């Protein structure tokens, strides 16, 4: 008999709206003894079926819905159907833009805790929830049915797994290769990345559309690319005909990779500066030196992981945007991003406006940017919207 989670009265509204999470405080009782990640049936206080979900005893999100259809069986066939559907959507919306894309965007694709990226034939997967870990073998089987003989690498080496009672892990899951370096093509640009050592699953696929949009602000301009990582934004700037580019990152490996990617595309390194430095400190140094730029790109890592860090994150975003405004030439353009899901768009917009005020600069918002089309937002899962970007003409 399948174990059951019975909800308290009135706590079924979100599931009726197809939101996939069940919080511990919504639960009246658990019938049976499900193991971590096992599929359970969730019912309301009148025993009416709500969903089939993965049980996670260590998380505040005690269950994550796989399906709202009682007739479904959560097995390899189920995951194959989900992956096949997601693949068709990606191929329709990405077309010939790139040979790399996010195949599965967790809850937004109906697979909570599962993130799968496709890099020019190599697949990188993250299993971040108890249910995802429990069904890892089924998901890998499904992937190999859709992508026969594909190399599959796991990047579940993230702290969020601890909330699910899981340990970080990474390594080959199928068809291992000698190297973990992969070269992808995006809008005609070649980008090398490392799926083992790189950020996230190796690359920031979610910024593809923003990188492309950036080109129109770089032609003939002096460009400062902060938190440059692989140098992808600067590759687009070079493609657009930037006058000069300065890439800044605190990681020596990232700087080396950015330099490698410029060489890979045949760009002259003499026109591009690669600086290993703390961005906050370097921007203050540039201010003291009186350096100015026509276009500045701020794409920092996530500043906020939980609600307790939000206030400090706001200060960090304001500080770095204020410094950027102080370095902008008159009529210059700032492209500022936040990948923090807890940072609401309206709040981020206000922070940028306040930063300009403190920098004694005026300006206008001229464009909004966001996560690429292969990072969809489920209609019932607004939390899927996390990447915000604003273009400001100062």
Whether the CB-CB separation of 116 and 125 falls below 8 Å is answered with: yes
Q: Which of 81, 49, 78 is nearest to 66 (CA)?
A: 78
Question: Alpha-carbon distance 272 to 300, whole Å?
Answer: 20
Count helices and strands in the chain by DSSP H and E runs: 10, 20
H helix runs in 74-207, sequence order: 76-94, 130-134, 136-146
In the residue annotation, 51 being an active-site residue is answered as no
- b/e burial code for range 222-234 (CB count within 10 A of at least 16 → b): bbbbbbbbbbbbb
Question: Alpha-carbon distance 148 to 144, whole Å?
Answer: 5
Question: Alpha-carbon distance 327 to 331, whole Å?
Answer: 12
Look at the block and give the residue holding tokens 């859709």.
146
Whether the CB-CB separation of 118 and 103 falls below 8 Å is answered with: yes
Residue of 51, 218, 226, 339 with catalytic role = 339
What is the DSSP track for 250-267? S-HHHHHHHHHHHHHTT-
Q: Which of 197, 224, 348 is nearest to 282 (CA)?
A: 224
Positions marked catalytic:
339
């Amino acid at each position: 008999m399948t174990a059951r989670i019975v909800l308290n009265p009135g706590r079924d509204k979100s599931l009726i709206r197809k939101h996939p999470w069940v919080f511990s405080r919504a639960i009246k009782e658990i019938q049976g003894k499900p193991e971590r990640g096992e599929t359970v049936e969730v019912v309301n206080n009148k025993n009416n079926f709500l969903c089939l979900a993965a049980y996670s005893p260590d998380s505040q999100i005690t269950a994550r819905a796989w399906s709202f259809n009682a007739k479904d069986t959560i097995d390899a066939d189920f995951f194959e159907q989900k992956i096949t559907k997601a693949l068709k959507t990606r191929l329709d919306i990405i077309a010939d833009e790139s040979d790399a894309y996010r195949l599965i965007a967790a809850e937004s694709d109906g697979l909570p805790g599962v993130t799968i990226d496709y890099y020019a034939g190599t697949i990188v997967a993250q299993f971040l929830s108890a249910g995802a870990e429990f069904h890892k073998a089924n998901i890998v089987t499904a992937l190999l049915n859709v992508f026969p003989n594909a190399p599959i690498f796991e990047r579940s080496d993230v702290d969020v797994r601890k909330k699910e009672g899981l340990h970080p892990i990474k390594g080959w899951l199928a068809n291992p290769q000698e190297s973990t370096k992969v070269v992808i093509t995006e809008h005609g640009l070649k980008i090398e990345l490392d799926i083992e050592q790189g950020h996230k699953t190796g690359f920031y696929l979610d910024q593809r559309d923003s990188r492309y949009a950036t080109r129109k602000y770089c032609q003939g301009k002096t460009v400062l690319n902060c938190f440059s990582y692989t140098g992808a934004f600067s590759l687009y700037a070079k493609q657009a005909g930037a006058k000069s580019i300065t890439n800044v990152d605190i990681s020596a490996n990232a700087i080396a990779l950015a330099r490698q990617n410029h060489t890979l595309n045949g760009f002259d390194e003499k026109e591009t500066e690669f600086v290993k430095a703390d961005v906050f400190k370097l921007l203050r140094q540039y201010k003291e030196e009186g350096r100015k730029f026509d276009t500045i790109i701020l794409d920092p890592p996530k500043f906020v992981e939980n609600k307790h860090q939000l206030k400090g994150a706001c200060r960090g975003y304001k500080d770095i945007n204020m410094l950027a405004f102080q370095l902008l030439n008159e009529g210059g353009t700032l492209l500022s991003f936040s990948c923090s899901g807890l940072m609401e768009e309206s709040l981020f917009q206000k922070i940028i406006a306040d930063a300009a005020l403190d920098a004694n600069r005026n300006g206008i918002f001229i464009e909004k940017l966001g996560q690429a089309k292969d990072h969809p937002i489920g209609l019932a899962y607004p939390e899927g919207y996390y990447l915000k970007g604003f273009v400001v003409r100062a």
